[in-house]
Amino acid sequence: MKVGTVNYLLIMTLDVFAAGTDTTYASLVWSFSELIRHPRVMKKLQQEVTKVAQGQSMIYENDLEQMEYLKATIKETLRMYPPIPLLIPRESMQDVKVMGYDIPARTQTIVNAWAIGRDPTLWDAPDEFRPERFLNNAIDYKGLHFELLPFGAGRRGCPGVQFAIVMYELALANVIYKFDLALPDGVKCEDLDMSETNSITLHKKSPLLVMATQRRS
Ligand code: HEM
């Protein structure tokens, strides 16, 4: 194999590794943070996973299908905290008109998925974490509903979406199935710092510190 090919494969592997781990990890931290801030949602989610698990030692991929509230919680997290808030920049290939604006060829365009997810003309009370908004609702993140674009859309959309969602669902479901999460003594839910980093991937600025206690099944 030529050196150039090896370099290319190495860069691709690192690219996929970076795109695939940092994003999923950042999203999980946001989900745990919002669940701790919203005990009602946490309780509802724990009830769902416990019911579906039926006493099994852990949650498996086959169980996820039945976890509607888990899926809604994940969509709500991705709406409020899209891990790549500005997606990947695009460049127009030809002159186009978009919503009345003339965009010349070779113009770099940036899609602000974060702002779309918080747009009050698209979402009721956009700054509130309410997974219920996604129950009985067809809006999905696969790039066909432009009000929710955490994985981007089109030919440059995230190729890891299916894998990412299964990993995300399994990790979240298993942690809250096995553990109760609480803030350290003296820290109140409303005191949790939810500020965001100003970087390519949207991370929580301060680390999330929680105490995990094993749940009795
Ligand atoms: C919660 C998890 C994830 C989120 C929110 C996410 C989001 C995104 C977004 C927004 C893009 C840019 C798409 C665009 O601009 O239209 C992207 C690109 C990409 N993602 Fe993901 N991603 C996640 C997980 C993963 C995983 C698990 C993998 C691989 C196993 C992966 C691999 C990639 C790759 C290779 C690209 C670049 C695609 C290209 O440039 O054509 N991602 N991702």
pLDDT tier at 56, thresholds 50, 70, 90: very high
The closest residue, in CA terms, to atom 10 on ligand 1 is 151
Two tokens, residue 107: 């113009």
- Higher model confidence: residue 52 or residue 5? 52
Binding annotation for heme: 158
Rounded to an integer, the average pLDDT of 37-44 is 97
Average pLDDT, rounded, for the chain: 92
Q: Up-side HSE of residue 169: CA atoms within 13 Å toward CB?
A: 23
Residue 211: CB partners within 8 Å, gap ≥ 6?
A: 181, 182, 183, 184
- Please write the tens of the pLDDT for every residue from 154-165: 999 999 999 999
Q: Say whether pLDDT at 1 is over 80.
A: no
Q: How far is the CA of 158 from the centre of ligand 1 (A)?
A: 4
- Please write the tens of the pLDDT for every residue from 78-128: 999 999 999 999 999 999 998 899 999 999 999 999 999 999 999 999 999
Domains (ranges, CATH) in the chain? Answer: 3-84+125-214 (1.10.630.10)
pLDDT, residue 113, reads 97
pLDDT, residue 138, reads 93
